[in-house]
Amino acid sequence: MALNLPSPAQVKPLFFSYNLKSNTFTKLPGRFCIKRKDNENGVERGVYCSIQSPEPAWPGTAIPDPNLKIWDTPKPITILGSTGSIGTQTLNIVAEFPHRFNVVGLAAGSNVALLADQVKTFKPKVVALRNESLIDELKEALADSEHQPEIIPGEQGVIQVASHPDAATVVTGIVGCAGLKPTVAAIEAGKDIALANKETMIAGAPFILPLAHKHNIKILPADSEHSAIFQCIQGLPVGALRKILLTASGGAFREWPVEKMKEIKVSDALKHPIWTLGRKITVDSATLFNKGLEVIEAHYLFGAEYDDIEIVIHPQSIIHSMIETQDSSVIAQLGLPDMRLPLLYTLSWPERIYCSEITWPRLDLSKYGSLTFQAPDNVKFPSVNLCYAAGRAGGTMTGVLSAANEKAVELFVDEKISYLDIFKVVELTCEEHQKELVASPSLEEIIHYDQWARQYAANLQKTLSY
């Protein structure tokens, strides 16, 4: 594999002059932070990207193609990561609306028992199991089933499920960069993407977005915040979007004083005030890395400049995100905290499917009394500045930041580093990567630097005291 490493002349503009450690309580040792540009009078005008971003998935509008097919038969879908949280919730939707959706392919990692049950219930044509050593176990579990799908082992099996000729939409619920190659295969096969894999945009956007435009496919966001933005820009004229307002619950430590943050234990970080989530995303919510990463994702999905994407802490988590238009109107999407809602809209867009009140409780604002908002504390949560800086650097930097954070969270959960060390690990990894940043990476380069970042972050454990 030949890597396209930049020359020193290419790297130099990406070093940042504003030192993050000067305004964060963690006193980070690195220099990876924000570079500001002054106007001719010396007045600060904002922060500018070093690298030109690719054309966004939804450039400030969400207007359906008049030739877009409206399905009068069940829409055929495949699900990557069918045994995970996204996959199981998607299948719950299919079970409730069998007249609207039909599963033609399932791909899972290693949960044989659950995958076998899903095959018996939904009867897909093709099934993939990434863990090849468990294929015989899966075949045995399905031996007495009336329905016998084609079973394909390994990553190649996942890719074949993603690109199955009968599917119209692929739900990408595989976690991490493992989801990139199947997503690329789906795009090249002309499938629309129900996007539930963050790395597709955060790490892969410089490669994925041009590919999506080339093959004229739609990338539809399935997480609550970006689905909210997508819903708010429906029918918006070109150029009408002024600002994106990403809401955040604030995580477990929203009310903690700064001086207490050094005492945080793993059990503290795993107590999310609103959502029931997996361990990694719950810690990301506690550090606010989840929201910083969503800023990067919003930039690539909707084309807003980083100066025009703002995080707003909204503890009730009823407003899932907002947009501001050029005339200063603010449009918000509200709903109960339920991941099924954005998943359903992603699958049904541009249609709206009627939902029963029995299984889809309706929002009654009178029960809440008040909705509150506040700015994020960037001193308590240096993750926010780190994510903005990585986004402005562009190229492979955003993927490196995401991978370093994932490894740092793993080390923290395993009690090998402290909570505050998460920020240090991420910043030091990003700072080191500035020497080799690739502005317009290939898929191979994106995956290479994902692995490099994990290894570099793991090695930093030796230099940190827990």
Average pLDDT on 225-236 reads 96
Complete domains list, the chain, with CATH: 75-226 (3.40.50.720), 227-355+366-465 (1.10.1740.10)
pLDDT digits (tens, 9 = 90+) for 114-127: 999 999 999 999 99
For the cut 90, the answer to whether the pLDDT of residue 206 exceeds it is yes
pLDDT digits (tens, 9 = 90+) for 60-108: 899 888 888 889 899 999 999 999 999 999 999 999 999 999 999 999 9
Q: What share of the chain is helix, strand, coil (3-state, %, to 5)?
A: 45, 15, 40
- Cα atoms found within 13 Å of the Cα of residue 77, Cβ hemisphere only: 33
Q: 109-141 burial, b if ≥16 CB within 10 A, otherwise e?
A: bebbeebbebbeebebbbbbbbeeebbeebeeb
pLDDT confidence tier of residue 51, bands split at 50, 70 and 90? low
What pLDDT is stored for residue 292 in this prediction? 97
pLDDT confidence tier of residue 23, bands split at 50, 70 and 90? very low
For the cut 50, the answer to whether the pLDDT of residue 17 exceeds it is no
User: Which of 17 and 387 is assigned the larger pLDDT?
Assistant: 387
For the cut 70, the answer to whether the pLDDT of residue 20 exceeds it is no
| Residue 432, both tokens | 């080191």
What pLDDT is stored for residue 142 in this prediction? 97
Residue type, 150: E
Paired residues of 101 in beta bridges:
75
**Phi, psi values for residue 221, rounded to 5°:** -70, 135
For the cut 50, the answer to whether the pLDDT of residue 34 exceeds it is no
Average pLDDT on 364-385 reads 93
Q: What is d(CA 59, CA 13) in angstroms, rounded to the nearest whole number?
A: 27
What pLDDT is stored for residue 66 in this prediction? 86
For the cut 90, the answer to whether the pLDDT of residue 188 exceeds it is yes
Cα 328 to chain centroid, rounded: 28
Cα 219 to chain centroid, rounded: 12
For the cut 50, the answer to whether the pLDDT of residue 279 exceeds it is yes
